[in-house]
Amino acid sequence: MRKVLIFGAALILVLGLAIAAQAVTINDPWPLNGVPEMNLYQIVQEPLFGSLSNYGSSTNFANSYPIMETLPVGSYVVDAYAKYAAFTQNPGFYPAGNSAALKYFSPTYTPIFPVGNNGIYATNFVFSSDQQFGFFDDNTANGAGIKYTQLDLNWNGDLGQSNGLIFQISPTHWIVAFEDGAGANSLGDADYNDLVLDVRTPVPPSILLMGSGLLGVIGLRFMRKRS
């Protein structure tokens, strides 16, 4: 039994998923075509994303949740997304560490709070990955490159450049937020509301994997007893 518990604990540690320890400063967004944008804090407070505790500002919200770079194997759904950017947004996911294997989402957008071509939208990206994975936003059509949630895949590998962030709200809920600065240039306006994905899964992936691992151990012991 002790070996099984150690195995389970080790698996959970492996699935800790490269949590970034850096503090994040999120600026107030600039008006878009003269219309005030919603900031990251306001976006996650909207009923579409579910009510969260009041942290008072986007920066406090960001610093109150663990920041992750990847998610584990499992099935997921993007329930909704928000967009406040001049760039074309083309999001998807990729196997961890493999920026050459991009898998694009193909969503149908239904505007909920539109602001021109921007605003908050309902959608239903259902996807699954058989490897640990991260998210990306492809802005190459606008000359702004591709943003990744794994920091070392971005231009200089830190939070000082364009990138994406995964905030863990709960074991089954994540907010993925992208900044749309252009490639090797310094971080744009640092508002992280240029593309915001609301990602959920019905069961914590670590529990699913740990359960399958424990079942494997139990099955192996059963077969040994029978033989």
Domain membership of residue 136 as a residue range:
2-202
Q: DSSP assignment of 165-226, as one string?
A: EEEEEETTEEEEEE----TTSBP-S----SEEEEEE-SS-HHHHHHHHHHHHHHHHHHHHHH
CB 176 within 8 A of CB 125: no
- pTM of this prediction exceeds 0.75: yes
Q: What local confidence, expressed as pLDDT, does residue 149 receive?
A: 94
**Residue that the structure tokens 């493999």 belong to:** 98
Q: How many domains does the chain have?
A: 1
Q: Is residue 222 part of a domain?
A: no
For position 186, which CATH number holds?
Answer: 2.60.120.400
Q: Determine the pLDDT at residue 197.
A: 94
Q: Is residue 211 part of a domain?
A: no
Residues 7 and 14 sit within 8 Å (Cβ to Cβ): no
pLDDT value for 5: 36
Q: Which residues of the chain have pLDDT under 50?
A: 1-21, 208, 210-226
Category of 157 on φ-ψ map: left (φ > 0), alpha (ψ -120 to 50) or beta: left
Q: 215 lies in a domain?
A: no
Q: Under a CB-based contact definition with an 8 Å cutoff, are residues 54 and 190 in contact?
A: no
Q: What share of the chain is helix, strand, coil (3-state, %, to 5)?
A: 25, 30, 45
Q: Is position 221 within any domain?
A: no
Domain assignment present for residue 96? The answer is yes
Position 207 scores a pLDDT of 54
Is residue 21 one of the residues assigned to a domain?
yes
Give a yes or no: residue 170 inside a domain: yes
Structure-block tokens of residue 174: 């994540």
The verdict on residue 225 lying in a domain is no
Residue 218's pLDDT is what?
Answer: 43
Q: What pLDDT is recorded for position 177?
A: 93
**Confidence (pLDDT) at 182:** 62
**pLDDT at position 8, please?**
39
